[in-house]
Amino acid sequence: MALHLAGAALALIGGKPRTVVGSRKSQLAMIQTNMVLAELRSLFPDRVFEVQTMETLGDRVLDVALSKIGAKSLFTGELEELLAAGAIDLIVHSLKDLPTTLPEGLRLGAIGKREDPRDSVIFRKDKMATHASLADLPAGAWIGTSSLRRVAQLKAKYPGLNFESVRGNLNTRLKKLDTSTDDGPELKRYSALVLAAAGVIRMGWKDRIGEYLENDTCLHAVGQGSIGLECREGDDVTAGLLDKLNHQGSALRCHAERAFMRSLEGGCSVPLGTWTEVDLQAGGKLKIMGAVYSVDGQTSARGSVEVVLKQHSKAEAEAAGVQLADLLKSRGAMAILEAIPRENINAAPAMPK
């Protein structure tokens, strides 16, 4: 991939250096981008920060389940092309959307402080007063989620519930939920959605969360709840800005999780979950749990690793993730992943015109 070190950052506006920040157009993406911009503008008042937005492939293709679109960079690839070309200087990502292997010439420059990484259950408005858990729903109830990982785990826990992919931004999905009815057409009778708690909280909808899914019910996605900031290799100016935004504890957890996924050659469309804890006050103790699942949730390989990060370093955290991946491989993880029907993760749809 060609590297343009001139970049947008060298441009001046009114004598001030400029940094161009890339983001998706969705409301949640812009909320997260504005959070980052507020920090950057506070830390670097003598620099101008501008935003360039775009719709990505994952934003445009809404009639196909994420697991069937096939590409690994659904929400990131087109922004990364702009970054590599020097048209923008950094990208604000939901870290769970960012592949664990980045294009040549690009790097993960910082990981912001993590919001709650758990998944959450949003009940339809007319059920909020009577339902506090998925366990309260009657057999046959329909749950909307776009994640194979969630479906695999929740099918095993709640075999009587039905699961259907629901796509679109959070506003769209919430509208689909609240306009559903129990006597509506099949697949449109959503009783609840399962969404990342972090996105719901950042949208200001925390009061809609009826249940948080703990790690004994649903391990969360790699990087979930974290904001990842991507920049070019060799762009020391932008790297220096991002250094100030890196949150050490969150970064160590996410580096371990990403190394775990990378070692299993997984992606965001694979039924793979994780959970991490780190205590930098207790000698840098890091615990990482993880599992891979069959699509029906009936077969899994799981385990956990606990280490002490003596140097509190990225390399140590990644080594812990690799150690967990090796443990799961010894327990049959690769056989489970290889048995996943390819149409569940590789079938690419026709692009919209």
Active site residues: 97
Tell me how far apart the alpha carbons of residues 302 and 290 are, in angstroms, rounded to a whole number.
6
CA end-to-end span of the chain: 28
Which whole-number Å values give the CA distances from 184 to 125, 181, 190, in the listed order? 16, 5, 9
Neighbours of 169 (CB within 10 A): 18
- The 3-state DSSP class for residue 308 equals strand
Tell me how far apart the alpha carbons of residues 269 and 216 are, in angstroms, rounded to a whole number.
21
